[in-house]
Structure 1
Amino acid sequence: MSDEEAATFISPRKKNPHGKPVGSSQKMMIINCYKQLKSENDQIKYRDLMKRISDTLGIGLNKVQTTVSEYNQIKTLTSPNRKRNRPRVVDKIDDFDKNAIRRKVHSFWHNKELPTLAKVLTAINEDNTLPNMKETSLRKALKSLNFKFTKRQRNSILTERRKYLISIRRFREEGRPIYYLDETWLNTGDCVSKVWVDTTVTSSRMAFPEGLSTGPQNPSGKGTRLIVVHIGSAAGFVSGGLLCFQSKKNSSDYHDEMTGQTFQEWFEEILPLLEDNAVIVLDNAPYHSVKKEKTPTTN
């Protein structure tokens, strides 16, 4: 074979990737090379011919043999099978299955459980009446049913809230007095002895069509700021339980003015004013739970 003819069969720099089907153009190259080499040497052994085609074109030996064998049998070339688009599981489920999936999700809520994707998937795949699904298919199915994946509160917060409600109910059944304490602030400029109030307007829905308001607005923030601490129960505020002092920083956050020492001194003063066996409800403000002795440091 001359140099000019050999140039036609220069091997490509990259071989055909393993597992990749041989395309129509590659099959044509194999057959053309097969005819060319066979016409030049009709006595060449079949195996040597296949190996030479493979080395020349950079295509695997098995693929070369399969292509040549196919051509010799049917005298034509076929294109490789394209990947068929399989119907998705989401497209195959009917309205009955969709309603069943919806009921599966709601069953978790009825049982006071959080319907995570893993839990719902397990429940569906354990039901023989429903198609077996994967996470991706289930996620698409839930979205098609207008379910939305939203961020929930931490389980610890939900657990503590439930414990609180159970405890409060028990205290009330026991007849124990329950006191609530909190802090707030106000501005002296917002304090007047009396103000006119329209008693006919009881909601914003009533006020808006007539161009009216619902009454006094929130404090404007002008004037000297006072910090107020008080405690009360269903019977009203505790007499002698008021703590009111002027803010020195005039900060927008009244928590800056309260300290653990100030709260402790006030708390010790109001304890004798409360009924026996009482329950006190307070939030987790930092000055409500100050360590008496701080943890020593290495400095």
Structure 2
Amino acid sequence: MEAPAANFATVNARRRKLPTGHLTLREKTVIHNVHQNIVKDFPDIGATEQKKKTASYTGFSLSTIYTLLGEVHSTGHVSPAKKAKHEERIILDDHANYLIRKTVHDFFFKQIPPTIDAVHEETKLNSEIPKMGRSKLHKVLKELQFRFKRRGRNGLLIDRPEITVWRAKFLREIEKFRSEERKIFYLDETWINEGHTKTKIWVDESKKSARQAFIEGFSTGLKDPCGKGKRLIILHIGSDEGFVDGGLLIFEGSKGGDYHQEMNATVFETWFAKILKTLPNNAVIVLDNASYHSRKVEKISTTSWRKGDIQNWLASKNIAFESAMLKAELLMLVKQHKHTFERYAVDELAVQEGKTVLRLPPYHCELNPIELIWAQIKNEVASKNITFKLRDVKPLFQEAVEHVTDENWKKCIEHSKKIENEMRRIGENFGTVPELIISLQDSSSDTSTESDSDKENFD
């Protein structure tokens, strides 16, 4: 027995300090069997000495032996190895971002200053928002275009003024188009992974192992997807009369990360030019500001341009400048006049067909009712996806699209109208440009140093 034990100890010497949760089932079984043999061969040396010999023979620490034998004593068997927990990267879709933004706005409606801690607690109560830490929430708020600002002794996040103005303009224009009885269409892209399924299901926790379930004639439960897998990229457009016939564009993605990287201006503009011909005259198309929606007809001078090129651009637009001006001064002139020359290819295509593009304010997907339609479709796919294969997910998605009714669209549009009215009410209560404020300090802290309040440090 000594020689084999020595070999086993040598092989496993590097694992001495690992907790039992990291031991394989084979390692646990060997330790248990070695201990049983020692108890049989050395019955008179006492339990402590028996465990010490087990540690010596197997090469694991005495504390590991005690822990493992304690587990066996309490459960009656050697438990399977625990699966290592890997923290999954959190990718938020537009709907989740909307829910987070709405959580913050709910504080404003109640006239309660929302701290990061308070917002974090509220997001944890919403099952539709992925679980995340406080620091991740802070990053998300910054990505949603809240900015850091000093107000007295407290750090604040507020909507950027240009976004607030953009929102106010959007609300006025869409109200005007409705009063003119113009037909409004809503356009958007989304994605779905082949592993998309229900996140919460009933499980039988009384079955501790696959072997136990097999012996008792039970299953091991539903099969889980092996990660998110490949994904489909989808583009569609609809109105209160449902999806536009022939408007569905669906293809397999080839990249990870943000699905917006899968689309490009050429693909989108080709599809958009085709779909415009099927829409009624004077129609309005609501869309966001994704890069492929925003290809400019003409390039405008930027800081990367050479000084001479900037001068040539200004001259071509008949904008007066002095030859002695610095590059920074020339760029200021460009900034003052560029709005006159900024034209988007998508907008031009719409104008040629007698239609109008209405662009959403950045990070305001809640104003686009198609986001709720996507949620309905994905929920149906999740309930029916049992193979986790892209070839099966695609027809499931297409089938779910067919199940969306005119009434579904009408309800989602009405929901967006309610949000519009809430935003108008905020504007009336807070002035023309409402300041939406979040305290970034811990709610339990009353003081901070000068340097602390300047830093955005939330580790």
- TM-score bucket of the superposed structures, by smaller chain: 0.3 to 0.5
TM-score computed with the length of structure 2 as normaliser: 0.26
Q: Which has the higher contact order (CA 8 A, sep 6+)?
A: 2
TM-score computed with the length of structure 1 as normaliser: 0.39
Structure having the higher Rg: 1
Higher helix share: 2
